[in-house]
Chains A and B, each alone.
Chain A
Amino acid sequence: MQITYHEPTGDQVEIDLAASGEPFVDVTLVVNGKQLTKRAPARRLLSDFLRHDLGLTGTHVGCEHGVCGACTVMIDGQTARACLTLAAQCQGARIVTIEGLSPSDGTLSIVQQAFSDCHGLQCGFCTPGFVVSITSFVEENRGRTDFTDEEIREAAAGNICRCTGYAGIVAAVRLAAERVAAADAEGQDR
C-alpha cells in the first residue's frame, strides 16, 4: 500500500493574527485548474478548506487521521490525504479533487465508468477517494494491463470501503487500466 504525504511546497505564506488572536493566512493556490486566493485560519485542514471554504464537497472525510483515504486528492501530481494537510501548506500548489477529475460535460471518466460498470460503489462515500487514487495508479502505470490480483489489491489498499467487500473495486481497477490502454492504442484522448 502506498501512502504519499504531501511535502509543503516551500512557498512562503504570511500569517497574521485576527482580533481573537487566531492566526490566519491568505492562501493562493490552483484548484481544479482555477487559481484562487482565500483567507483561512492557519490551522484549517485542507479537507475542511476544500469542502467548506471552497464548497467542493466531493472530497469526503472519514477519519481525519489519514487511514481511510476518503479525503484523497492530488497535490502537485501526487495523491495526498487532505485531512493530514493544512490549507496553509498548499501555498502555490496545484490541487485536483474529484470535481476536477470529472468531465465537465457531465459524463464519466474512464475510471469512473469502470467503477460503475463493475458495481464498485454502493453508498458512494469512499468513492471519490478511490477514483482519485485509482486514476493516479492507472496514470502511473499507463499502458500496463498485466497486473496480478495482488498488485491490483495493493493499489486499492490505500482506501477503505465498508460496503462493497472490494470485489467490484478490484474488477474496476483492472477494467479501467484495460480501457485506458485501449483508448491510447486507438489514439484517443482520455
Chain B
Amino acid sequence: MTTRNLGARVPRIEDPRLLRGEGIYVDDVDDRGALHVAFLRANVAHAKIARLDVEAARSAHGVRAVFTAADLGDIDRPLPQLIPHPDLTHPRTQLPLARDKVVFVGETIAMVVAEDRYLAEDAVDLIEIEYELLDVIVDLEESAAEGAPLVHEGVPRNVACHNVQVVGDPDAAFDEADVIIKERISVERSAGMPMEGRGVVARWNSRDKELTVWDSTQAPVSIRGGLASIFKIPESKVRVITPQTGGGFGTKVMMFYPEEVLIPWAAIQLDEPVKWTEDRREHFLGSNHERKQIHFIELAAKSDGTVIGLRDHFLHDTGAYIPYGIAVAQVAAGQIGGPYRIPNIRVSFDAVYTNTMTVSPYRGAGRPHSCMALEMAMEKLADELGIDRMELRRRNFISPDEFPYARDGITFADGNQVLMDSANYEPMLDQVLDEIGYEQFLEDQKVAEAEGRMLGLGLAVYVEGTGLGPYEGARINVHPITGKVHVAIGLSTQGQSHETAFAQIAADQLGIDPEDVILVAGDTAALGYGVGTFASRAAVCSGNAVNVAARKIREKALRLASNMLEADAEDLVMEDGKIAVKGAPGRAVSLRDVAIASNPLRYAFDEDAKAATQFAPAQTEGPPLPEGEVPGLQADGYYSPPGATWASGVHAAIVEINPDTCNVEFKRYVCSHDCGVMINPTVVEGQVYGGIAQGLGGAYYERFQYDRQGQMLNASFMEFLMPQATELPPVEMHHQETPSPLNELGLKGVGEAGAIPVPSLFASAVQDALKRYGTRVTEVPLSPNMVHRMIEEGKAKEQDAVPA
C-alpha cells in the first residue's frame, strides 16, 4: 500500500457543500407534515409541583396535544443511568417530564405538540402551574457541607459518589517529604455551547412499525439501542440518523436527554412526524453543562525538587442529575499525575448534586481541571523550593524509556489501570521555551518590572488519554456501477473532517484518490455497530477500523484481479484506481471491474459491465461464489484498543496586564503538541486551534453565573461571553510525533488537546505577571475585575509590609 495520503494536507472533501449552505442539519431535515414541539420548563430551581393545568393549552389554536408525566405511561420512569460504577451509590436521573418535583431551572414539565413552533410556544404560555418552593442549593462547597438542603431525598450530603484511588504509599511519602505545599484550585461552570443547538425529528410508520429518528447526537448507534429498548421495538426497526451536526463538544453525546425519548414517543402516540429544535435560551437551560470542580491538592517533595507524593481531593458538581455517571470526575482523577513520575498518589472526589443543570463531559472532560490543579501546584512548589519552574518540571517528567508507565491503583475512563503508552515531554518543553525565547523573556521581565509594567509568561504541560474503546467499525463497499468506495462508520461527525481523514486512510490501502471515497457517518442503517464520537477517540478507533476493512478489500481485490489478469498477486500494483501488472500497465483492471466481477450475478447490464466481462472470471475454481466468500468488494473491519493511548503537549504564552483596564493581553502564544502520527496535519491544527479557543474561553470568558435561587443570570450570548476572532492571539504551533505503539497507524487522539492546558497557562501567566505581589491565581475563568482585585490586594500587602 502507499502512504501517499497519510500525513498529507488533503483539502477537505466536505467543504464545498457546507460553504454553499447545502449541508443538511437537523433543523433542515424535511419536516413537511411534521408537528412541532415546545416545552414548559421549570423556572424555579427546587420546588414541588402543587398544581399543573394544561387544559387552556390543549384547546389553544393549532395545538394537537399537550402531554404531562401523567400521560406518559411506560416511559414515565427515570431515564437510563448510562455508566454505572460501584462507587456511584446514589445515582439519580431525570424523568422525561417532571411529575411531583423539579430540581433545576429548565427541567421539562410539559410537552406541547402543535402545527408550528410559534403556536406551540403560545400554548406553553397558557399552561398554569403552581410551585411550592423548596430550599435551593447552588454553591458546590455549601452543598457538600453538613446541613445543606437536599437536592434529592435519600442522598445524604448530596453526594452521589465518593471515590478514592491510591497508588503506592502517599502517607509515607508525605511523612518523609522535605517540603509540602497545598493549594486550592477552582474551575467555574461552563459549557460546550456548539453553534447549533440540539434537535430531534421522529417519524413513525405505524403500518410497518418502523421508527426513524434524526438526532443531532454524537452517538447515533447508542441512541438507536436505547430507543429500541425503551419502546420495545426490535433494533432492526429503529433507524437513527445524525445529519450534518453544527458542533458537539460533548454536549451532544450525553444521552438520554428527555427530548430524545419524548419526541419519538410523541410521534408514535400521534402517528404523525414530530419535530423539536431548541432555541439558544433552551440550550443554556436544558443542555448539559460542565467544568465546575474545586481541587484541594498537596504535593510532597524532596529538596532537590523530586515530587514523591500527591494528594488531591476534589468536589465535582454534577448538577441536578448524573445520567452520564462519574465520567468527568474519573477522567480528572485519572490524569492527576500528568506527565510526572510522582510514584505515590491519593486522589479522591465527591460528586455532589446541586440545583443546577446536569453535568456531563465537555471537551477536556476533567483533563483541564486536573492539569490546572497539578501545574499550579508544581509552580507553587517551584517557588517554595527556589527552583526554576521549568527545571522543576524537567526533573519530574517521566522519561521516554520509562514507558509504558503505569499508575496502578488509578483507573482511567476505559476501566483499565492507567497505563501511559508513550511520550517524550522534554523536547516539547525545550521547543516551546526556545521558540518563545524564555531566557530573553526573563530579561525583558526584569526591565518591565522596573518600569512598573506587568509582564508574565505562563506555561502548562498536559497529557491526554485518548482512543478509548470498546471499539469502532467500518463497512466498506466498492460500488460496481460508479466505482466509488463507500465507507460507513458507526459514529457521527460534528466537524472533525472525518469525510476527508478516513478517506485518506482508505485511499492509501486501495490506491485511489480520497475524492473517490464517500463516507457515510451517523446512520445506523449503514452500520449498526459503534459507540460514538467523544473522548478524542474517532481517529484512533474508526481510523484503524477503516484501515482494517480497507486492507481486507485490498487483499480480496488483489486476489480476484490476479485471476482476472492471470498473474500472480505479488506482481500486481494497486494505484490510481487500477490494479495492474508491474511493468505492463496495459494489463490492468479497474477497481470497479473487480467489484463487478466479484458479484457473479452482475453481468452485462451496461457497457462498462460488459467491458468487465472481457477478463477472466474473478474465481476460476469451484462454484462462482466459493464457500466462505461474500459477493462484491465489501468488507467490515473493527478496531478494539487494548487501552488508552496518551497524547501530550506544552503550551506557553507571554501576556501583559493593561494597567488601566486590567485586561490581560497576549503578546505571544506558542505550543508544541504530540498526537502521534497525524492523518492530516491541517485537520490536526484546526482541532488544536479550536480547542485553544475554547480553552481560552474557560480561562477568561466563559463563566456561568447562577444566583442563590438557582436562576442563571447569563443565559444568552449577550452575557455569556465566548471568544471571537479579536480575542484569540495568533498561535505558533509546533508538532512532535511519538507514534502510538498500540495501533497499526500509530495514531493518538487530538480532539481535546487544545482545550486542556489553556486555563492553567493563563492562570500561570497572570500569576507570573503579578509576581512582585506574590499573588497566587487559583481560580478560572479570570476576568479584568478579578485581576484588578488581585492587583489591589497585592498593593495593599506591599503597603502593609513597609515599615511605619
* Partner-B contacts on A (CB < 8 A): 1, 20-22, 41, 43-44, 51-52, 56-65, 67-68, 70, 97-99, 102, 106, 108, 112, 115-117, 119, 121-128, 131, 149-150, 152-154, 156-157, 159-170
Which residues of chain B come closer than 8 Å to A64, judged between CB atoms? 279-280
**B615 is an interface residue with CB less than 8 A from chain A:** no
* Contact of A164 (CB < 8 Å), options: B22, B28, B62, B690: B690
Contact B725 A166 (CB under 8 A): yes
Most buried by A among B12, B19, B31, B683: B19
B731 cross-chain contacts in A, Cβ below 8 A: 165, 167
User: Which A-B residue pairs are the 8 nearest by beta carbons?
Assistant: A58-B21, A125-B246, A123-B495, A124-B18, A165-B689, A122-B495, A98-B21, A165-B693
B residues near A119, Cβ cutoff 8 Å: 12, 682-683, 685-686
In the complex, are the beta carbons of A160 and B689 less than 8 A apart?
no
Find chain B residues with CB under 8 A from A1 CB.
724, 726
Is the beta-carbon distance between B725 and A157 smaller than 8 angstroms?
yes
* Distance in angstroms between the alpha carbons of A86 and B474 in the assembled complex: 46
State how many angstroms separate the Cβ of B14 from the closest Cβ of chain A: 7
Per the bound structure, the CA–CA distance linking A128 and B25 in Å amounts to: 13
Interface residues in B481-501 by Cβ distance below 8 A to A read 494-497
Bound complex: CA A128 to CA B16 (Å): 11
Q: Is B692 an interface residue (CB 8 A)?
A: yes
With A61-B27, A165-B692 as given contacts, are A160 and B717 in contact (CB-CB < 8 Å)? yes
Q: Is the CB of B21 within 8 A of A128?
A: yes
Give A117 to B754 CA distance when docked, in angstroms: 22
Whole-angstrom CA separation of A57 from B17 in the bound complex: 12
Which residues of B in the span 714-772 have a Cβ within 8 Å of any Cβ on A? 716-718, 722-726, 728, 730-731, 754
Are the CB atoms of A131 and B19 closer together than 8 Å?
Answer: yes
Distance in Å: Cβ of B13 to nearest Cβ of chain A: 10
Given A131-B19, A157-B726, A162-B193: A123 in contact with B245 (beta carbons within 8 A)? yes
* A140→B724 CA distance, assembly (Å): 22
24 CB contacts below 8 A, A to B, read: A21-B61, A60-B246, A63-B280, A65-B716, A65-B718, A98-B21, A102-B20, A112-B19, A112-B20, A117-B11, A124-B244, A125-B23, A126-B195, A127-B18, A153-B728, A156-B725, A157-B725, A161-B725, A162-B247, A165-B690, A165-B693, A165-B731, A166-B723, A166-B728
| Given A65-B716, A117-B11, A162-B722, CB of A125 within 8 Å of CB of B195 | yes
- Decide: A123 near B195, CB < 8 A? Known: A61-B27, A153-B725, A165-B690: yes
Report chain A residues within 8 Å CB of B754. Answer: 165
In the complex where A102-B21, A121-B19, A160-B724 touch, is A168 in contact with B247 (Cβ < 8 A)? no
Residue of B nearest to A63 (CB): B280
CB of B12, distance to nearest CB on chain A (Å): 7
In the bound complex, how far is the Cα of B693 from the Cα of A126, in angstroms? 15
Is B645 an interface residue, CB under 8 A from the partner?
no
Assuming A123-B495, A156-B724, is B686 touching A164 (CB within 8 A)? yes
> Chain B, 240-281, contact with A by CB distance < 8 Å: what is the 0/1 string?
000011110100000000000000000000000000000110
**Quick one: closest B residue to A113, CB to CB?**
B19
Inter-chain pairs besides A112-B16, A121-B19, 8 sampled, C-beta below 8 Å: A22-B61, A59-B21, A108-B19, A116-B19, A160-B722, A161-B693, A163-B495, A165-B754
Tell me the complex Cα distance, A116–B689, Å.
16
Contacts of B724 in A (CB 8 A): 1, 156-157, 159-160, 166
Residues of chain B lying within 8 A (CB to CB) of residue A124: 14, 18-19, 23, 244, 246, 495
State in angstroms the CA–CA spacing of A65 and B129 once bound together.
27
Q: How far is the CA of A62 from the CA of B691 in the complex (A)?
A: 20
> B28: which A residues are within 8 A, CB to CB?
51, 57
Q: How far is the CA of A52 from the CA of B118 in the complex (A)?
A: 13
B166 at interface, CB cutoff 8 A: no
Please report the C-alpha to C-alpha distance between residue A188 and residue B689 in the assembled complex, in whole angstroms.
35
Contact B726 A121 (CB under 8 A): no
Q: Which A-chain residue is minimally distant from B686 (CB atoms)?
A: A119
Asked if B15 is an interface residue, CB under 8 A from chain A, the answer is yes
Residues on A with beta carbons closer than 8 Å to the beta carbon of B12 = 116, 119, 121
**Across-interface contacts of B24 in A (CB, < 8 A):** 57
Q: Which residues of chain A are near B716, meaning CB under 8 Å?
A: 63, 65, 67
Q: Chain B: which residue is nearest A64 at the CB level? A: B279
Q: Mark B219-257, 1 if CB is under 8 A from A, else 0.
A: 000000000000000000000000011110100000000
CA–CA, A21 and B694, complex, Å: 46
Binding site of A, secondary structure by majority: helix, strand, loop or mixed?
loop
Which parts of B264-315 form the interface with A (CB within 8 Å)?
279-280
The smallest beta-carbon distance between A152 and chain B, in angstroms, is: 8
Main SS of chain B's interface residues? loop
Which A residues are CB-close (under 8 A) to B7? none
Known: A157-B725, A162-B249. A51 touches B118 (CB 8 A): no
Q: Are B722 and A167 touching (Cβ within 8 A)?
A: no
B196 within 8 Å of A (CB atoms) = yes
A164–B690 Cα gap in the complex (Å)? 4
Residue B168 CB within 8 A of the other chain: no
B676-708, CB < 8 A from A:
682-683, 685-686, 688-694
Task: Tell me, in angstroms, the Cα distance from A61 to B279 when the chains sit together.
Answer: 8
What chain B residues lie within 8 Å of A159 (beta carbons)? 724
Instruction: Let me know if B784 is at the binding interface, CB within 8 A.
Output: no
Return the chain A residue nearest B731 by Cβ: A167
Kindly name the residue among B61, B195, B682 whose own CB sees the greatest number of chain A CB atoms within 10 A. Answer: B195
In the bound complex, CA of A43 to CA of B722 (Å): 30
CA distance A121 to B494 in the complex (A): 11
The answer to whether B689 touches A168, judged by C-beta atoms less than 8 angstroms apart, is yes
Residues of A within 8 A of B193 (CB): 162
B22 partner residues in chain A, CB cutoff 8 A: 58
Contact of A51 with B497 at beta-carbon distance under 8 Å, contacts A43-B118, A62-B196, A162-B722 already known: no
Contact of A65 among B197, B717, B722 (CB under 8 A): B717
Q: CB of B84 within 8 A of chain A? A: no
Closest Cβ–Cβ distance, residue B655 to chain A (whole Å): 17
Q: Select one of B20, B62, B718 contacting A108, CB under 8 A.
A: B20
B280-A60 in contact (CB<8A): no
Contact, CB under 8 Å: A51 / B27: yes
Within the assembled complex, what's the spacing in Å between the Cα atoms of A167 and B687? 11
What is the minimal beta-carbon distance from A132 to any residue of chain B, in angstroms? 9
**B14 closest partner in A (C-beta):** A124
For the complex, is B194 an interface residue (Cβ under 8 Å from A)?
yes
A131: chain B residues at CB < 8 Å are 19
Pick the contact of A162: B23, B195, B692 (CB < 8 A): B195
Q: How far, in angstroms, from A61 to B692 measured CA to CA in the complex?
A: 25
B718 touches A57 (CB 8 A): no
Question: CB within 8 A of A41: which of B11, B118, B693?
Answer: B118
Q: Which residues of B contact A56 (CB under 8 A)?
A: 21
In this complex, the member of B18, B61, B685, B689 whose beta carbon has the largest number of chain A beta carbons within 10 angstroms is B18
For residue B20, which residue of chain A has the nearest CB? A102
A168-B19 in contact given A122-B496, A162-B694 (Cβ < 8 Å): no
Interface centre among A152, A153, A154, A166 (most CB of B within 10 A): A166
A164–B529 Cα gap in the complex (Å)? 30
Chain B residue nearest to A22 in the complex (CB):
B61
Closest to A61 in B: B27
Whether the pair B25, A60 counts as a contact (CB closer than 8 A) is yes
> How far, in angstroms, from A108 to B193 measured CA to CA in the complex?
29
Chain A residues whose CB sits within 8 angstroms of the CB of B249 once the complex forms: 162
Cβ of B11 to closest chain A Cβ, rounded Å: 7
Least CB separation from B716: chain A residue: A65
Which listed residue (B61, B192, B196) contacts A60, Cβ 8 A? B196
Please measure, in the bound complex, the distance between the C-alpha atom of A123 and the C-alpha atom of B690, giving whole angstroms: 11
Task: Compute how far the CA of A39 lies from the CA of B44 in the bound complex, rounded to whole angstroms.
Answer: 39
Instruction: Determine the chain B residues whose CB is within 8 A of the CB of A126 once the complex forms.
Output: 195, 246
Q: Whole-angstrom distance between the alpha carbons of A123 and B521 in the complex?
A: 14
Is A123 in contact with B196, judged by CB distance below 8 angstroms? yes
Contact pick for B246, options A51, A106, A123, A164, CB 8 Å: A123
- Taken together as a complex, chains A and B put the C-alpha atoms of A61 and B278 apart, in Å, by 10
- Expressed in whole angstroms, the Cα–Cα distance for A126 and B718 within the complex equals 17
Residues from chain B with a CB closer than 8 A to the CB of A167 are 685-686, 689, 728, 730-731
